[in-house]
Structure 1
Amino acid sequence: MVTVVSHPLVQHKLSLMRDVQTGVKEFRELAAELSLLLAYEAMRDLETVPTRLHTPIEEGEFPMLSGKKLALVAILRAGLVMTDAIVQLVPAAKVGHIGLYRDPATLQPVAYYNKLPTDIAERRVFLTDPMLATGGSASAAIGFLKEAGAQTIKLMCILAAPEGIAVIQRDHPEVEIVVAAIDPRLNDHGYIVPGLGDAGDRIYGTK
């Protein structure tokens, strides 16, 4: 299942991120803001339970999260800006990191780091990566999560290409994808077109 968050605020902020004139500071802030907006949609189905509370006026039962444990897992490095933003919404969530880079010749993911919460099997996992391009890195990361025992995984991306979505649906059909937009295609270098460039470089000012 793929959910495209078409809210006008989401689309406006994404357009600002696409602009080549947008600087590092603004790009990073926009990525964080978009991550929060995507999280609202991705976490729409979190369970709540009625909880008895006293307001300043009277006592009553009001919905609160049921206590189901959450985990935010970033695909390094670009996914960090997303988890850092989202953890503000769910501060009790544990945070994991999976380090992958894409070999420029083969476009295949190469793993260099994997640190996950020890109780990942008991948590609902939200995997973050701004760009779902070829899908190789995200598919490999989901594979690592499954090997560690994760049962429920959602993939949150700012931008996706049909090729990347197809890979996730082929390799991990049960994983829901939440994105701000789906662009038409990849170019010969594996970049999303029209896209927004290399998200990691634009977030951290490394190019």
Structure 2
Amino acid sequence: MSAEFRVIDHPLIQHKMTFLRMAETTTDTFRRLVREITAMLAYEATRDLATELIEVTTPVTTCLAPVISGKKLCLVSILRAGNGMLDGMIDLLPAARVGHVGMYRDPETLEPVEYYFKVPEDIQDRLVIVVDPMLATGNSAVLTLTRLKQAGATSLKLVNLLASPQGVQNVQTHHPDVSITVAALDQGLNDHGYIVPGLGDAGDRIFGTR
């Protein structure tokens, strides 16, 4: 059985996603929307974090109150577009460690090629949340999750803005233990491996390179 796949259909997220999709949305607005949507997805993706009780003193009395237990989380960005989601995640998880995995997609084969890999040495002790705006073919996500497991990661989640059915199936086939949280599940992929209707190339739109 595959881990949970969730589309977060909160009205605020869906409203912001509509403007994210628009071709006329400016670079600065696009970045802001990515950050805002990511923060809301982070809230949902971390809903099941373990907590423990500690004693605190309020202005009135003392009481037991919950805090997140265990080591701080690790956020892993799939370069380069994943960096556009990091700020939204860090807004909610300011103490999280951050790793980076560099991938580019071969335009002919659509297969990912790794060019960079840097994660915390104690990644095996942390919950790892991988971020990338688009889950298209799913090949980059599959390779990234494989590399993280090879590095020792045992608890992994994947967070995307948009996903295709093909990408979701690809991840669930190769990594059935990894939960996936997205803002929208689109129709599918075109001949170039882009999500339809999608929002174009997320990296280019975040960084203003096209």
TM-score between both structures, scaled by the size of structure 2 = 0.97
CA–CA distance in structure 1, aligned partners of residues 53 and 126 of structure 2: 21
- Matched letter for residue 115 of structure 2: Y
Describe how 1:22-61 pairs up with structure 2 within 5 A: 22-61=25-64
CA–CA distance in structure 2, aligned partners of residues 131 and 33 of structure 1: 16
Name the structure 2 match of 1:116.
119
- Matched letter for residue 113 of structure 2: V
Structure 1 counterpart SS, 2:23: coil
Describe how 1:13-162 pairs up with structure 2 within 5 A: 13-162=16-165
Structure 1 counterpart SS, 2:91: coil
2:206 to 159, 184, 203: 203
Q: Residue 67 of structure 1: CA displacement? A: 3.1
RMSD: 0.8
Structure 2 counterpart SS, 1:88: helix
Name the structure 1 match of 2:193.
190
CA–CA distance in structure 1, aligned partners of residues 91 and 41 of structure 2: 13
Structure 2: 5+ residue stretches without partners: none
Q: Residue 28 of structure 1: CA displacement? A: 0.5
Q: Residue 38 of structure 1: CA displacement? A: 0.2
Q: Are 2:14 and 1:11 aligned? A: yes
Q: Residue 54 of structure 1: CA displacement? A: 0.9
Alpha-carbon displacement from aligned partner over 1:59-99 (angstroms, at most 9, x marks no partner): 11111111333100000011112122212222221100000
**Segments of 4+ moved more than 4 angstroms:** none
Name the structure 1 match of 2:170.
167
Q: Residue 121 of structure 1: CA displacement? A: 0.6
CA contact (8 A) 1:17 1:196 kept: yes
CA–CA distance in structure 2, aligned partners of residues 51 and 17 of structure 1: 41
**Percent of residue pairs bearing the same amino acid type:** 54
CA contact (8 A) 2:37 2:88 kept: no
Q: Residue 40 of structure 1: CA displacement? A: 0.4
CA contact (8 A) 1:69 1:122 kept: no
Structure 1 counterpart SS, 2:92: coil
CA–CA distance in structure 2, aligned partners of residues 91 and 119 of structure 1: 18
CA–CA distance in structure 2, aligned partners of residues 17 and 171 of structure 1: 30
Structure 2 counterpart SS, 1:98: strand
- Matched letter for residue 32 of structure 2: E
TM-score between both structures, scaled by the size of structure 1 = 0.98
